[in-house]
Homo-oligomer: A and B are copies of this chain.
């Protein structure tokens, strides 16, 4: 049974950082990233290592902002898009923090924050933990589609996997950004086999999660419903479904919806087609742009639903449908004093 967990004692997002590459620097949020490498390599020899290094740098910066050492973290949850999530394990193992690996495709940022909130709440001995997620355009293209050197033509529904990472430090000590509720999403059939149309594949799962959540919550209490990477195509499907099936509350939800995949790039001159995607998309948009707005109280209460398309090259080649999943967390501004 689909149940929402409301945390009596919320957990707090103490610190966060975003790291990105060339395209991310050219987009509207470029100036808000903590670190940019326009070569997309972050000093590494391979795109795959570069992705892990982005995660390491993001966590390092988030810890520095807080003047906290890795030793003071009780648990680290992380995931990425590479086969067997090797970017996360390879990039983060040098911290020596107890580690739990996740795979939620592009939904991993929300999934990780959800699981970390649960870990901190369930454990009396844990005081602080971190969540890191990353993606790299060149690593993802050659793993899921074709190496970028081939110069393959992309369809208009295709999205651009972000070269970015986000890191978040969570704690039980009160600060100005709280995670106050969470709800994992059901896996929903996307009814498509087109790996260049992830937005459509994931829109139904986002609709399912939003609908479930607002069956017992009032849309008027929320400033923002933020999905991870539905892009132009998926966002339009989600909003249409909310308006058509949700009555007046649905129209309100559609009006406060936005998508990280539509925020990261300026599609008027960047070749992002339907928008940004990837584990690093929602993580870096949250850490660069959204959480500062929550901290300042410009967003008082919001939902984050990173959306994941569950597929592999094998499952696509074997003719399976692409499945979607959309876990949810509620984030609130907590006025100080």
Residue positions of A touching B, CB distance < 8 A: 1-8, 46, 48-49, 71-75, 79, 82-86, 89-90, 92-93, 96-105, 111, 114-115, 117-119, 121-126, 143, 183-189, 308, 310-315, 318, 320, 323, 325, 327
With known contacts A85-B103, A121-B122, A323–B187 Cβ distance under 8 A: no
Name A3's contact: one of B49, B96, B126, B185 (CB within 8 Å): B126
Q: Are B187 and A86 in contact (CB under 8 A)?
A: no
Please report whether the interface of chain A is mostly helix, strand, loop or mixed according to DSSP: mixed
Q: Are A84 and B311 in contact (CB under 8 A)?
A: yes
Our pick among B49, B71, B117, B186 for the contact of A98 (Cβ within 8 Å) is B186
Contact across chains for B318 and A46 when beta carbons are under 8 A apart: yes
Q: Would you call B184 and A99 a contact (CB within 8 A)? A: yes
The CA-CA distance from A72 to B101 in the complex, in Å, is 27
- Asked whether, in the complex, the Cβ of B99 is within 8 Å of the Cβ of A185, the reply is yes
By the criterion CB–CB under 8 Å, are B186 and A1 in contact? no
Q: Which of B2, B4, B314 contacts A48 (CB 8 A)?
A: B314
* Given A84-B312, A92-B187, A318-B46: A126 and B325 interface contact (C-beta under 8 Å): no
**A189 and B2 alpha carbons, distance in the complex (Å):** 39
Q: List 7 A-B pairs, Cβ < 8 Å.
A: A8-B124, A84-B105, A89-B325, A93-B189, A98-B185, A117-B122, A143-B314
Given the contacts A100-B111, A318-B48, A327-B100, A86 and B312 also touching, CB distance less than 8 Å: yes
A7 CA / B122 CA spacing, docked (Å) = 8
Q: Which residues of B contact A323 (CB under 8 A)?
A: 89-90, 93
Check A186–B96 contact: CB distance below 8 A.
yes
